[in-house]
Structure 1
Amino acid sequence: MQRRLMMLFLWFGLLNLVAADEYNRNDFPPEFVFGASTSAYQVEGAALQDGRTPSIYDTFAHQSRNGTLNPDVACDQYHKYKEDVQLMAETGLDAYRFSISWSRLIPNGRGSINPKGLKYYNNLINELIKHGIKPHVTLLHTDVPQVLEDEYEGFLNRRIIEDFTAYVDVCFREFGDRVRYWTTLNEPNIFAFGGYDIGNFPPGRCSPPFGNCSRGNSTTEPYIAAHLLLLAHGSAVRLYKDKYQAKQLGFVGINLLCYHFSPITNTREHIIATRRTYDFLIGWFMHPLTYGDYPEIMKKNAGRKIPIFTEKESKLVKGSFDFIGINYYSVMETNDYSIGLSKYPRDFFADIGVEWKYSDPSVLPDEFMFPNEPWGLERVLEYFKDVYQNPLIFIHENGQVAKHSTATNDQFRVEYIQSHIGSLLNAVRNGSDTRGYFVWSLMDVYELLYGFKSTFGLYHVDFNSPNLTRQPKLSQKWYSGFLKGKNTTTYVEKKKVEDDVMGRSSI
């Protein structure tokens, strides 16, 4: 152990000696994919047109509103998809990650297919391919059909597994001849605790003293929802592998929001708390997917609240992915709060036994931006390599938020994206099996926590214009130049050597 720590000190120390590193797109492997992301409700608009019915995302957005503009219009990509695909081609994207609206394709959640919804997604996919852009499709990005939530409470009821599997069967059958990359679920870890513990995400369920919602149970529902999300994912993957993969030659995975968790100080209790946080926020899904069961610390702290995998369920979930999608934005410092484990009742967060520097962005000042901490992305990828057998990974989301304005000189976003791509290159060179990077987001979109007040786009969207005019920002011009082979210089911030070594050696 002593020798290993000395080697780590030396390795991290050498990294810190190099502040600037010139690289370009050609330094990545030839098959590496660069793209940009959006999701259906955030970009499509036409929420009440051509047979589409509401989702829990619609319901939640109308309750919270986050400003006066109408989220049902969003960017109107439903009508402007050809224009937007042209922007993608001009930028030089290899791929576009988007999601399918379940309630646009199958308005009743099950049963009949909406021909206009089917036509739209066929048109979008064909337009992408026409311009040489690979479609990467997410099957569920938060927007469960509201009709299923009303009928049986969505992901709190096992009936959702059958309905979700039937829905994805339609997608695989209708689009799989042209789509090779499928993601079953976007951020199910955040969907489970945000939607069923805190209540700040759809479907907005929580209970006192953990939140102020009209319904829900914060102590049990996050665990139930996560379990059913895993089983629905496993069922969808089994269907694809049994029925479609041999013919369509595609890949199917799942997506998680990942922070790098760093101990607030290098004391033993904070380091152990950091390990717990990784197990609860990432291991919650990655342990079952890799090893067939929840982490031991989760089972210990949650007790009877956490469902038990049957042998059949464990086999269904274990190994049920070809790739893992990661959404990464920032580092989160963890502070041990083990004393909280003696309190009752406890929600999901209290079961972790930590406090961390985390703020709800929906109540932050308009000038809020994520700290530019690219080294955190590298640490997350190292963690997946070391703990979860180095899975094939796509960075599905990475980007910088800022107050929405008419200004297009977003140098801060250039620096953020530039440095994170540089850090990603370091991870790839150090053995991470990461094969793609997608900026969030292609354009300014309706954001769940921010509404239209703060955005991430490479393209500015004028939401006050009837034409919803798109205009390239400085970040789009930089990214386009990078994708077309221009050199770039990045400064990758390094955390103090002592913190990195102590944190890495303990997790």
Structure 2
Amino acid sequence: MPHCVDGRGEINPKGLEYYNNLIDELIRHGIEPHVTVYHFDLPQSLQDEYNGVLSPRFIDDYTAYAQACFESFGDRVKHWVTLNEPNVETLTGFDSGMLPPRRCSYPFGDNCTAGDSTREPYLGAHHLLLAHASAVSLYKEKYQATQGGQIGITLLGFWYEPASNSLQDAAAAMRMNDFHIGWFMHPLVYGDYPPVMRSRVGARLPGLTEEQTKKLSGSFDFIGFNHYTVVRTQADERAFDLKLRNYYADAAATIAYSLGDIGEYAPWALGKLLDHLRLTYRNPPLMIHENGLGDTSEISRKFQYDDDNRSKFLQDYLEALYQSIQRGSDARGYFVWSFLDEFEFLSGYRSRYGLCGVDMNAKERTRYMRNSAHWYSGFLNGGELRPPGSAYHDSA
């Protein structure tokens, strides 16, 4: 979305032109735009001025930015996402310091020149939540009736499972689901942070006023989730006994292992996530905004059309989604990540997620349709989830 040059003031006209053209072109081709307002893209000027999301000043600047988007594009955009993966931005930016603004503190992160891993992730998440609620309130009061759109938020939705059959690991996995999912879902549904976080984080977890609670509760028309994997979890009560604790130490949990670039292939984990949301958070309307397979095998090859592993991945996860809907989940949409190979935030061009491939070695960045693109297109046009005679049909 079009940032102002210095984070506030006059809107960048070239940004407006670009997104107006993009939205119009999508609609011209029968594609309904779903727009994310903010995705880890805070203007550097606001980071320099007041440390970005660590300051409550972020809330007003973000709301003004969202308003500019509603006013400029709301006549055509009917699905708005206020924030993408705030439960990732806060940890990677302010706990481990792995991503911008690279703030952390010893012994929880390295190569950071400033930060406090014990406190800043919670403070940043707090202001992101309040900014979300502010934008939703603005949209519902001023724009929704005339523009006819919907607004929500998108979270990363790992599913945490115990690494063993021990009661300690089972409890750690439950805590991690509360810390990972409940951190944002509990305030959005019930108006406060999860009780387990209140008790274990203590005064480092910001409080909410009565007005803030009222504004947060129900501040969505839908909730988006980006889901890829299950994460195996071990209990680590020794970490909770330390004088200094960060997010994972507060949860007294460690990630035991994960497979591949993003984690363990486990379609059933999507079903568990959706059941958890249905049973714990009043069955909110849901969108799966990202789900897909990142493949690194074709980097040494010029082209790779044969990606039946990706087709199987999508078939398995779509089947899990369908079964969850049959059990009562209010899931209303599904997006494959991604229609096209692109620069991935954490892995550059190494992981290829596209249904359509891109030859990164070609000057023209030649595009080509993989087999998964043909399968998915056929499925969307009425084909079977697992066509008779396919390699995976008998395992359905």
TM-score by length of 1: 0.74
Give, in whole Å, the separation in 2 of the partners of 1:137 and 1:307: 29
Matched residues in 2 for 1:298 and 1:395: separation? 26
Is contact 2:35-2:81 (8 Å) kept? yes
Q: Secondary structure at the residue paired with 1:455?
A: coil
Quick check: 1:173 aligned with 2:173?
Answer: no
Q: Does residue 308 in structure 1 map to residue 201 in structure 2?
A: no
Decide which of 148, 155, 169 is 1:270's aligned counterpart: 169
Q: Name the residue aligned to 1:467.
A: 364
Q: Match of 1:399? A: 292
Aligned-partner Cα distance in 1 for 2:395–2:6: 49
Verify: 1:373 aligned to 2:266, yes or no.
Answer: yes
**Distance in 1 (alpha carbons) for counterparts of 2:343 and 2:229:** 21
Aligned pair in 2 of structure 1 residues 358, 244: CA closer, same or farther (>3 Å)? farther
**Does the CA contact (< 8 Å) of 1:185 and 1:254 recur in 2?**
yes
1:201 deviates by 2.2
Distance 1:492 1:271 in 2: 33
Counterpart-to-counterpart distance in 1, 2:395 and 2:330: 22
For residue 433 of structure 1, what is the aligned residue in structure 2?
A: 330
Unaligned runs of 5+ in 1: 1-99, 495-507
Q: CA deviation at 1:204?
A: 1.7
Measured against aligned partners, the alpha-carbon deviations of 1:60-110 in whole angstroms (never above 9, x if no partner) come to xxxxxxxxxxxxxxxxxxxxxxxxxxxxxxxxxxxxxxxx2x43xx22211
Structure 1, residues 290-330: CA drift from partner, whole Å, max 9, x if none?
Answer: 00101111011111111111111111111101100001001
Match of 2:231 among 314, 332, 336: 332
**Correspondence for 2:38 among 140, 143, 148:** 140
Cα distance, 1:226 vs. partner? 0.3
For residues 314 and 475 of structure 1, the distance between their equivalents in structure 2, rounded to whole angstroms, comes to 45
Alignment of 1:64-143 (within 5 A): 100=1, 102-103=2-3, 106-143=4-41
Q: Which runs of 5+ in 2 are unaligned?
A: 387-391
TM-aligned CA deviation for residue 369 of structure 1: 6.5
Is the contact between residue 373 and residue 493 of structure 1 (CA under 8 Å) also seen in structure 2? no
Does the Cα contact within 8 Å between 2:356 and 2:369 map onto a contact in 1? yes
Does the CA contact (< 8 Å) of 1:462 and 1:470 recur in 2?
A: yes
**Per-residue deviation, 1:390:** 0.3
Q: Tell me, in whole angstroms, the C-alpha distance in 2 between the residues paired with 1:279 and 1:317.
A: 18
Cα 1:339–1:369 shift into 2, 3 Å: closer
Among 262, 267, 283, the alignment partner of 2:182 is 283
Question: In structure 2, what is the equivalent of residue 260 of structure 1?
Answer: 159
**Gap change, CA 1:491 and 1:145, over 3 Å in 2:** farther
Alignment coverage as a number of residue pairs: 386
| Corresponding position of 2:312 | 415
Q: State percent identity of aligned pairs.
A: 48
Give the distance between the partners of 1:492 and 1:191, measured in 2 at CA.
41
CA distance in 2, matches of 1:426, 1:254: 24
Going from structure 1 to structure 2, the CA distance change for 1:160 and 1:188 (only over 3 Å counts) comes to: same
CA distance in 2, matches of 1:161, 1:335: 36
Q: Structure 1: how far apart are the matches of 2:31 and 2:257?
A: 36
**Do the aligned residues in 1 keep the contact of 2:236 with 2:254 (CA within 8 Å)?**
yes
Structure 1 segments (4+ residues) deviating >4 Å: 367-370, 490-494
Q: Is the 8 A contact 1:370 1:400 kept in 2?
A: no
Query: CA distance change for structure 1 residues 136 and 314 in 2, over 3 Å: closer, same or farther?
Result: same
Deviations 1:353-409 (A, max 9, x none): 0122356xxxx9xx7474321111011000000000000000000011111523232
Task: Output the CA distance in 2 between the equivalents of 1:437 and 1:327.
Answer: 10
Q: Take 2:385 and 2:235, find their aligned partners in 1: how far apart are those partners? A: 40
Decide whether aligned partners of structure 1 residues 231 and 369 sit closer, same or farther in structure 2, where only a CA change above 3 A counts.
closer
1:273, 1:354 within 8 Å by CA — same for their partners in 2? yes
2:51 maps to a residue whose letter is: E
SS at match of 1:308: coil
Task: Give yes or no for the alignment of 1:487 onto 2:384.
Answer: yes
Q: Which amino acid aligns with 1:122?
A: N
* Paired AA for residue 297 in structure 1: V
Partners of 2:315 and 2:101 in 1: CA distance: 35
What do the CA deviations read for 1:438-473 (whole angstroms, capped 9, x no partner)? 011121111121111122111111223222221111
Q: In structure 1, what is the equivalent of residue 348 of structure 2?
A: 451
Q: Partner residue of 2:85? A: 187
The alpha-carbon deviation at position 411 of structure 1 amounts to 1.5
The match for 1:155 is 53
**Whole-Å Cα distance in 2 between the matches of residues 306 and 288 of structure 1?**
12
Q: What aligned pairs does 1:192-211 form with structure 2 within 5 A after superposition?
A: 192-211=90-109
Q: 1:61 is matched with which residue?
A: none
Residues 327-350 of structure 1 deviation map (CA, whole Å, 9 limit, x = unaligned): 100111121112321112111111
Task: State whether residues 161 and 235 of structure 1, in contact with CA within 8 Å, keep that contact through their aligned partners in structure 2.
Answer: yes
User: Which shows bigger deviation, 337-346 or 300-309?
Assistant: 337-346
Which residue matches 2:389? none
The residue number in structure 2 matching 1:234 is 133
CA distance in 2, matches of 1:353, 1:226: 20
Q: State the secondary structure of the residue aligned to 1:313.
A: helix
1:319 corresponding residue in structure 2: 218
Paired residue for 2:283, among 369, 372, 390? Answer: 390
- The 8 Å contact of residues 231 and 264 in structure 2, kept in 1 or not, is answered as no
> Does residue 250 of structure 2 align to residue 351 of structure 1?
yes
Higher relative contact order structure (alpha carbons within 8 Å, sequence separation ≥ 6): 1
Q: 1:391 to 1:435 in 2, by over 3 A?
A: same
Q: State the 1:493 CA deviation.
A: 8.6
In 2, Cα distance between equivalents of 1:433 and 1:151 = 42
Matches of 2:129 and 2:284, distance apart in 1: 18
How far is the alpha carbon of 1:264 from its aligned partner?
2.1
Pick which of 312-321 and 397-406 moved more: 397-406
CA distance in 2, matches of 1:286, 1:492: 38
Distance 1:357 1:328 in 2: 19
